[in-house]
Chain A
Amino acid sequence: MAISFRNSVGLYESALKLRSARAEILAGNLANADTPGYQARDFNFADALKNQMNNSPAGDELRLTQPMHQGGLDGAGGGAMDVQFRTPTQPSLDGNTVEEQVEHAEFMQNSLEYQTSFTLLNSRFRGLMSAIKGE
Chain B
Amino acid sequence: MGLTTIFDIAGSGMNAQSLRLNTTASNIANAETASSSASKTYRGRHPVFAASFPQMLGQPDNANAMDAPPESLGVAVKGIVESDAPLQPRYEPENPLADEQGYVYYPNVNVVEEMTNMISASRSYQVNVEVANAAKQMVQKILTLGQ
Contact = CB atoms under 8 A, between A and B. Distances in A.
Interface of A: 16, 20-21, 23-25, 27-28, 30-39, 41, 71, 73-75, 83-85, 100, 104, 107-108, 111, 114-115, 118, 121-122, 125, 129
13 contacts: A24-B2, A27-B131, A28-B51, A28-B72, A28-B73, A31-B9, A34-B120, A41-B70, A107-B134, A108-B134, A111-B138, A115-B141, A122-B144
Contact of A32 (B5, B73, B135, B146): B73
Nearest to B141: A118
The 7 closest A-B pairs by CB, nearest first: A31-B13, A28-B72, A83-B70, A35-B49, A24-B72, A25-B72, A27-B6
A30 B6 CA distance: 11
B127 A100 contact: yes
Interface class of chain B by DSSP: helix
Contacts of A111: 134-135, 137-138
Given A34-B75, A75-B2, 19 more contacts: A20-B138, A21-B1, A24-B3, A24-B72, A31-B12, A31-B128, A31-B131, A32-B49, A34-B20, A34-B120, A38-B66, A73-B1, A83-B71, A85-B70, A111-B138, A114-B141, A115-B141, A118-B145, A122-B145
B75 A35 contact: yes
Interface in B27-74: 49-51, 54, 66, 69-74
B66 A84 contact: no
B134 A24 contact: no
Interface in B99-147: 120-121, 123-124, 127-128, 130-131, 134-135, 137-138, 141-142, 144-147
Which of A23, A41, A71, A129 is most buried by chain B, counting CB atoms within 10 A of its CB? A23
A118 B2 CA distance: 15
A74 B5 CA distance: 12
